[in-house]
Amino acid sequence: MAFFETITDLANQADCLRPRRHGVIEVADERLVRIVLRPWAKTVSLYDVWFDRAVRHRWRRGNRCWLYFNQPARCPDYLTLRYIVSTADATLGTFRGALEVLDEIARIKGTQAIVCDASNRRISARLLARWGWEPHCPSRWHRHYIKRFYAGHAAPLAKPRLLAACAE
């Protein structure tokens, strides 16, 4: 098993994805580019936030989004949406596409829920509710949300628009 492994076809490479705990989903122009499986979790510092805002978001061109996810060792039935970075030209469809791929990963892994801390105030509670997220663990300084799959996952997506790009 390589430290960094790239997945471009979720349907055929699901066995590679199941045991790995950390990764980054890259979506461009509302299509899945790749999922890079990482050997360690993404940590976020103020420098990361500053660098990503100054370099990736402001100066990189294109309709791109990177979504980092972790599966904590202490809670193997959950995924955490750790960090999202986008370019200035990224559309809502590209952001939504990255979340759809994360939902598919959760289905493949058989997780019970995905949790996140929505620190960007431009992501409204109403939008998150429309996409199946609900407030969780109220806090004064953080906006924690959870997307539950306790009743089971939906049927696997036959050929969603994002995953179809990999087969082409």
Strands 144-148 and 113-117: antiparallel
Domain count, the chain: 1
pLDDT digits (tens, 9 = 90+) for 91-119: 989 989 999 999 999 999 989 999 888 77
* pLDDT value of residue 166: 47
Residue 82 has φ and ψ, to the nearest 5°, of -85, -45
Question: Could you read off the pLDDT of 47-85 as tens digits, one per residue?
Answer: 666 666 666 666 677 899 999 999 988 988 899 988 888
Give the residue, 144 or 57, on which the prediction is more confident: 144
Give the model's pLDDT for residue 167.
Answer: 45
Eight-class DSSP state of 18: T
Helix H or strand E encompassing 5: strand 5-7
Mean pLDDT of the chain: 81
Look at residue 167 and tell me if it is in a domain.
no
Comparing 11 with 36, the larger pLDDT belongs to 36
Q: Domain of 52: which CATH number?
A: 3.40.630
Q: Which domain holds residue 148?
A: 5-152
Residue 90 located in a structural domain: yes
Tell me if 92 is assigned to some domain.
yes
What integer pLDDT is reported at residue 29 of this predicted model?
Answer: 92
Q: Per the domain annotation, does 159 fall within a domain?
A: no
| Alpha-carbon span 26 to 96, nearest angstrom | 12
Q: What's the pLDDT score for residue 6?
A: 87
The answer as to whether 165 is a domain residue is no
Contacts of 23 (CB under 8 A, 6+ apart): 17, 35, 36, 37, 38, 68, 69, 105
